[in-house]
Amino acid sequence: MGALRPNDPAQYDTLADQWWDPSGGFAALHWLAASRAEHVSPAPHPGAVLVDLACGGGLMAPHVARLGYRHVGVDLGVPGLRLAGEHGVLAVRGSVLAVPLADGCADVVVAGEILEHVEDDVGVLAECARLLRPGGALVLDALAATRVGRFLTTTVAERLPGGPPPGIHDPALFVDRARLLAAADDLGLDLRLVGLRPSFRDALAWRLGRRVTVRMKPVRSTAVVFAGYGRRRDGAGPAGRTQGGGGSRPPVRS
């Protein structure tokens, strides 16, 4: 692990045996998967599709099955996709910047913990908009490009039980929230952001072996971890890259 650069996707392959271990290196991703599911309505019709971008080992699978969706997971990592398939996910290998699925195919798109791992976060958002049918729902979560966000999620969290594996993030890629909201509006998405943090009481009980998961609680500040909940507007035109402000990130500022 030490030889890998920060944010190297190979880390996920190396840690693949921990995907479904609720006390392993991806513990917090279990907590976030449950939090996302709380903001997904039951399937509106038979055969409704939920597209799970950067699905990893498929941690959304039990939640999606309970809600009645056909679960399509997209990722580049073969070990994770193999695990996702074993948990009932229709696994598709592909980039979140060029998803090999049809326009308007999804009733729901989930983009969890991916925007802070790519050079072009607006490009991922554009793919979310393209995949959604009009009125379809978007659920995402990401890490904010703030000084406090970078400090707490890398310097602190990577040293705590349940936190992300060391080096899994590159703080230079954390997400500019104002830019994300502006891009969403340009793409025909109504999106609101909400801060998230783990329940401190649950985290202590989890650490002591008294809980298998930790609830994520909404908080007013979006400066560290945040979720986004939204819909593609009815009558929105074809979704694509935004003009001018879209594309690659601007120089990173604190």
- The CATH number of residue 149's host domain is 3.40.50.150
Report the C-alpha gap between 185 and 241 in whole angstroms: 12
* Higher-scoring residue by pLDDT: 217, 246: 217
pLDDT higher than threshold 60 for residue 185: yes
Report the C-alpha gap between 40 and 51 in whole angstroms: 12
pTM: 0.89
- Residue 177 covered by a domain: yes
Residue 191 CB-density burial (10 A; 0-12 exposed, 13-18 middle, 19+ buried): buried
Confirm if 183 and 111 have CB atoms less than 8 A apart.
no
Structure tokens belonging to residue 155: 């310097």
Confirm if 194 and 32 have CB atoms less than 8 A apart.
no
Report the C-alpha gap between 128 and 28 in whole angstroms: 23
- Residue 2 covered by a domain: no
Q: Which helix (H) or strand (E) holds 194?
A: strand 189-198
pLDDT higher than threshold 90 for residue 242: no
* pLDDT value of residue 249: 41
C-alpha torsion angle, residues 125, 130, 133, 138 (rounded to 10): -10
* pLDDT value of residue 236: 65
Q: If pLDDT is split at 50, 70 and 90, which confidence band does 54 have? A: very high
Residue 158's domain spans which residues?
10-232
Of residues 145, 146, 143, the one with CA closest to residue 158: 143
Strands 70-75 and 189-198: unpaired
Confirm if 57 and 118 have CB atoms less than 8 A apart.
no
| Number of domain units in the chain | 1
Q: If pLDDT is split at 50, 70 and 90, which confidence band does 3 have? A: low
- Residue 34 covered by a domain: yes
Report the C-alpha gap between 191 and 227 in whole angstroms: 10
Weakest-pLDDT range from 6-10, 112-116, 117-121, 162-166: 162-166
For the chain, what percent of residues have pLDDT higher than 90? 76
* pLDDT value of residue 135: 97
- pLDDT, tens digit, for every residue of 134-160? 999 999 999 999 999 999 888 887 777
- pLDDT, tens digit, for every residue of 197-232? 999 999 999 999 999 999 999 999 999 999 999 999
- Residue 25 covered by a domain: yes
Confirm if 112 and 141 have CB atoms less than 8 A apart.
yes
For the chain, what percent of residues have pLDDT higher than 70? 91
Report the C-alpha gap between 199 and 215 in whole angstroms: 6
Query: From the CB of residue 192, how many other CB atoms can be counted at a distance below 10 Å?
Result: 11
Structure tokens belonging to residue 14: 């190396």
- Residue 245 covered by a domain: no
pLDDT higher than threshold 50 for residue 63: yes
Query: From the CB of residue 137, how many other CB atoms can be counted at a distance below 10 Å?
Result: 20
pLDDT higher than threshold 80 for residue 253: no
- Residue 247 covered by a domain: no
Please state the rounded mean pLDDT for residues 13-27.
Answer: 90
- Residue 40 covered by a domain: yes
Q: 3-state class of 39 per DSSP?
A: coil
Weakest-pLDDT range from 1-5, 106-110, 176-180: 1-5
Q: If pLDDT is split at 50, 70 and 90, which confidence band does 246 have? A: very low
pLDDT higher than threshold 70 for residue 4: no
Block residue for tokens 């195919």 = 105
- Residue 165 covered by a domain: yes
